[in-house]
Amino acid sequence: MVSFVIDGKNVQAEGGAMLLNVARQNGIVIPTLCAHDTVARSGACRLCVVEVTKGKRTRIVTSCLYPVDEGIVVSTKTERVMNVRSLVMQLLMARCPESQLLKDMAKEMGIEPQPSFRVETDKGKCILCRLCVKTCEDVVGVSAIGLSRRGKDKIVGPPFMEDSVTCVGCGACAYVCPTDHIVMESTDGRRKIWGRAFRMKACDTCGRYFAPVDQLKWISKKTGTPLSELSVCLSCK
């Protein structure tokens, strides 16, 4: 265990625990966009910055990636921290002017969108956090989507932005996306996502459509479970 100070409060935590988690456990709210419990942290959004003093050195760090250490002094709401968060937010809003989530978060943080931040490339609602990509890769194990193009033209989607052949239609990317950028529509036994339509399987017991057939085939192949044993939804199991 290590002892340190956060916003004037003495706290204890396991050495190496991530600062963001420890702050949350102690009721301290730090805004985040790209931290999700199911995938490894990437530090993509930079919204979770805080100020850390270690010895004689004070610096701004991303709290989701910073391991706590004995004797550090953490401040989560100094003027410097708020200025950096405000700048990050302005850049995100300029890049994703359609995102209501960003507008709401900015309002909560007391940040007004500044017209001086030019929109270079409208990304819709995508903040390029890669949560969807990592979920598809690490959790689902499919790797159907990724980042393509470079610099300001960077975009998330299937390779060459063509209809994905490997996607199984599970929708995990849409669930994890913090800004609702990924459009997934499920109607009449069909699910549409990433330019493809997937046939849904109806539960053998209750008749409710519960998963795309391709996803069930993928699970069957990956786990060795016969497809016939995957024909009932979780509620009816």
Residues that bind ligand SF4 (CB under 6 A): 126-132, 156, 176-179, 181-182
Q: Which residue has the tokens 């007391």?
A: 110
Nearer to ligand FES, 46 or 201 (CB): 46
Handedness of CA 151, 166, 136, 182 (dihedral sign): positive
Interatomic CA distance for residues 223 and 122, integer angstroms: 41
State the nearest-atom distance from the C-beta of 126 to ligand FES, in Å: 14
What tokens appear for 93 in the block?
């809003």
Handedness of CA 198, 199, 203, 204 (dihedral sign): negative
- SS3 sequence of 3-44: EEEECCEEEEECCCCEHHHHHHHCCCCCCCCCCCCCCCCCCC
Strands 2-6 and 73-75: parallel
Nearer to ligand FES, 31 or 213 (CB): 31
Answer with the entry of ligand SF4, ligand FES, none that 181 interacts with (C-beta below 5 to 8 A by kind): ligand SF4
Nearer to ligand FES, 41 or 191 (CB): 41
Answer with the entry of ligand FES, ligand SF4, none that 64 interacts with (C-beta below 5 to 8 A by kind): ligand FES
The CA–CA distances, whole Å, from 222 to 62, 116, 117, 191 equal 36, 51, 47, 22
Nearer to ligand FES, 48 or 142 (CB): 48
Bridge partners of residue 57, in order along the sequence: 54
Contact residues for ligand FES, defined by CB under 6 A: 32-35, 43-48, 62, 64
Nearer to ligand SF4, 149 or 208 (CB): 149
Answer with the entry of ligand FES, ligand SF4, none that 48 interacts with (C-beta below 5 to 8 A by kind): ligand FES
Answer with the entry of ligand FES, ligand SF4, none that 47 interacts with (C-beta below 5 to 8 A by kind): ligand FES
Answer with the entry of ligand FES, ligand SF4, none that 62 interacts with (C-beta below 5 to 8 A by kind): ligand FES
